[in-house]
Amino acid sequence: MLAVFGINSDGLNLAVNMLILFLVVIYLALVYWTYMDAIRRIEDPMLVICATVASLFPFVGTILYVIVRPPEYLEDIHERELEMQAAEARLHEANYMLCPHCDYEVKEDFLRCPNCVRKLRDPCRACGRPLDPTWKLCPYCEAEPGDIGRQPRLRSEA
């Protein structure tokens, strides 16, 4: 039998061979684990390959990967994004509005944000109610865009 490290004792040589086999199995398992973990945490295939190649440096590569790997699984990130989209949709359905500048809760008829005082909407010059920029006419007083800003004419002036 081949003696490792010049050991002539069969029992001690068997123990050393078993230890080397154990370390090789652990090393290969760490390379495989690094590859599988990188697939679940990193979207870029090139970074997955780099992480796997780094793990080929015995034990040190895997330890470095564990230090610099992303903290979350891709599945968890996508699930959180879906939950946020669903929550935003529920808030939108409930007419829950936030100021686009400071995220303070505002109501549909606010002209300015009470928190940051930024302008949210323009008022109708005929009736003073808030107008959406996409509206073709004021839904409250039926003033058309051409009429908005002009003073109403009195019949005697005509």
Q: Which pair of structure tokens corresponds to residue 123?
A: 């008022």
Q: Which domain does 8 fall in, by range?
A: 4-71
| Alpha carbon distance 132, 97 (integer Å) | 14
Do the domain assignments include residue 111? no
| Alpha carbon distance 41, 85 (integer Å) | 21
Do the domain assignments include residue 30? yes
Vertex 87 angle, CA 118 and 131, to 5°: 35
Do the domain assignments include residue 32? yes
Do the domain assignments include residue 122? no
Please check whether residue 111 is in contact with residue 123, taking contact to mean a CB–CB distance below 8 angstroms. Answer: yes
Do the domain assignments include residue 116? no
The β-bridge relationship of strands 105-106 and 97-98 is: antiparallel
What's the number of domains the chain is made of?
1
- pLDDT given at position 158: 40
Do the domain assignments include residue 106? no
Which residue in 74, 64, 81, 67 sits closest to 36, CA to CA? 74
Q: Which pair of structure tokens corresponds to residue 127?
A: 């009736």
Q: What is the pLDDT along the chain (158 residues), one digit of tens a residue?
A: 566 677 778 888 889 889 999 999 999 999 999 999 999 999 999 999 999 999 999 989 999 999 999 999 999 999 999 999 998 888 777 777 888 889 888 887 888 899 998 888 888 888 888 887 788 888 888 887 655 444 444 444 44
Which residue in 67, 74, 68 sits closest to 44, CA to CA? 74
Radius of gyration of the chain (CA): 35
